[in-house]
Amino acid sequence: MERFTLFSLFVLLIPCLCFAEVASTVVPDESDDLLISQVVSDSEDHILNAEHHFSLFKSKYGKTYATQEEHDLRFSVFKANLRRAKRHQLLDPSAVHGVTQFSDITPAEFRRNFLGLKRRLNLPAHAQKAPILPTNNLPTDFDWREQGAVTSVKNQGFCGSCWAFSATGALEGAHFLATGKLVGLSEQQLVDCDHECDPEYDDACDSGCNGGLMNSAFEYALKAGGLQSEEDYPYTGRDRGHCKFDKHKIAASVYNFSVVSVDEDQVAANLVKNGPLAVGINAAYMQTYMGGVSCPFICGNYLDHGVLLVGYGSAAYAPLRFKEKPYWIIKNSWGRGWGKKGYYHLCRGPRAHNLCGIDSMVSTVVAVHKNK
């Protein structure tokens, strides 16, 4: 479902054209990349100065290509992504879009290798419905990072294991709430050992780098007894290995997990009460995202990425009329070099209407209280 009709989109784009110049003052230290956020001109290649940006990109991210053909192919993909970043900037003026570590891959390659949320129609056997919580006394700003409930940003690498990172993030937070200890948990255990399937459709199973679901991961963790620590079972980003799970080394266990109703206030209330939440999201704007609050005029509700909701803010720093924009604080798993030190800020509030599907697949988990 689109948020606006084509007509209102047209109307909305007009103020954005003048606004784009202001956007270049948002992040002062990335002036080169911000060239892309400037207004579209007729002579695109000249304005984009694609070759210059491509060399900067290659040196910044240490990219080398095996053959000249590969290099030329990547350069043409890079140019297409510069144009895409520019379109994203127009559709999403309160964020900054430009060159990222994903600028030399196509959107299809991006979806295949760096996302990894599967479709599944039925909930696992032990998933419950989260009870409706009171929402009248919620804080205006809230951030689990300030309470020490969030581990540092991780990197899923070239592997569609987002679902595993989203699930460990939620259990890390729940475990912290239950025990007062923050322990990084093992995504690799989920990648190697969790093959939970939809009770009715055998082809919808958690399958390592080929995708999975957070709810299924909680189901697995519940049945297996828990997850080992990151330290004991470190991440390799490969899914060819066999399961090395050791029951005697469980670091955190799931007590119960439940699905939050599709309602922004319930999402906020569950976040504040139970800790960081595992959420699905449409990642369409994330390939080019560099900072600011992402508030695209159009964003699909199709969920293709699993991330961790850790907090929200009432008013983002953004130029002019975007000053009061409320936003979610979302932990991603693409390293600290992506986005806002590894985080994504996405618009929330009554006018955001479940933007990019953020309220559609939200799970909360409670950890077993252990005195370890």
Ligand X SMILES: *[C@@H]1O[C@H](CO)[C@@H](O)[C@H](O)[C@H]1NC(C)=O
- Hey, what are 197's tokens? 């399937």
- Hey, what are 221's tokens? 């963790």
**Residue span binding ligand X (CB under 6 A) among the ranges 66-74, 84-92, 219-227, 252-260:** 252-260
- Which of these is catalytic: 81, 88, 162, 301? 162
Asked if 169 and 278 touch (Cβ cutoff 8 Å), the reply is yes
> Shortest gap between Cβ of 28 and ligand X (angstroms)?
46
Residue 100: count of CB within 10 angstroms of its CB: 21
Site for ligand X in 110-139 (CB under 6 A): 128, 130-131
- Which of these is catalytic: 88, 305, 345, 356? 305
Bridge partner residues of 96 (DSSP) = 291
Q: Does residue 368 interact with ligand X by CB under 6 A? A: no
> Shortest gap between Cβ of 4 and ligand X (angstroms)?
36
Q: Does residue 256 interact with ligand X by CB under 6 A? A: yes
> Shortest gap between Cβ of 266 and ligand X (angstroms)?
13
- Which of these is catalytic: 270, 332, 345, 356? 332
Rounded alpha-carbon distances, angstroms, from residue 148 to 152, 183, 230, 342? 10, 11, 17, 17
> Shortest gap between Cβ of 257 and ligand X (angstroms)?
8
Q: Does residue 366 interact with ligand X by CB under 6 A? A: yes
Bridge partner residues of 306 (DSSP) = 280
Nearer to ligand X, 134 or 350 (CB): 134
Q: What are phi and psi of 321, to 5 degrees?
A: -70, -5
Nearer to ligand X, 131 or 225 (CB): 131
Q: Does residue 367 interact with ligand X by CB under 6 A? A: no
Nearer to ligand X, 85 or 221 (CB): 221
**Residue span binding ligand X (CB under 6 A) among the ranges 86-94, 103-111, 170-178, 255-263:** 255-263
Residue 46 annotated as catalytic: no
What is the gyration radius of the CA atoms in the chain, in angstroms?
Answer: 21
Nearer to ligand X, 24 or 135 (CB): 135
- Applying CB under 6 A, the site for ligand X has a residue count of 7
Residue 332 annotated as catalytic: yes
Rounded (5°) CA angle 283-193-332: 25
Distance from chain centroid for Cα 234 = 21
Distance from chain centroid for Cα 366 = 22
> Shortest gap between Cβ of 130 and ligand X (angstroms)?
6
> Residue from 4, 10, 255, 317 that binds ligand X (CB under 6 A)?
255
Nearer to ligand X, 127 or 159 (CB): 127
Asked if 360 and 262 touch (Cβ cutoff 8 Å), the reply is yes
| Chain position carrying tokens 């990084």 | 184
Q: CA 103 to CA 207: how far, in whole Å?
A: 27
344: CB partners within 8 A, 6+ apart:
286, 289, 294, 307, 330, 332
> Residue from 258, 270, 294, 363 that binds ligand X (CB under 6 A)?
258
- Hey, what are 234's tokens? 């470190």
Interface positions with ligand X (CB under 6 A): 128, 130-131, 255-256, 258, 366
Residues serving a catalytic function are 162, 305, 332
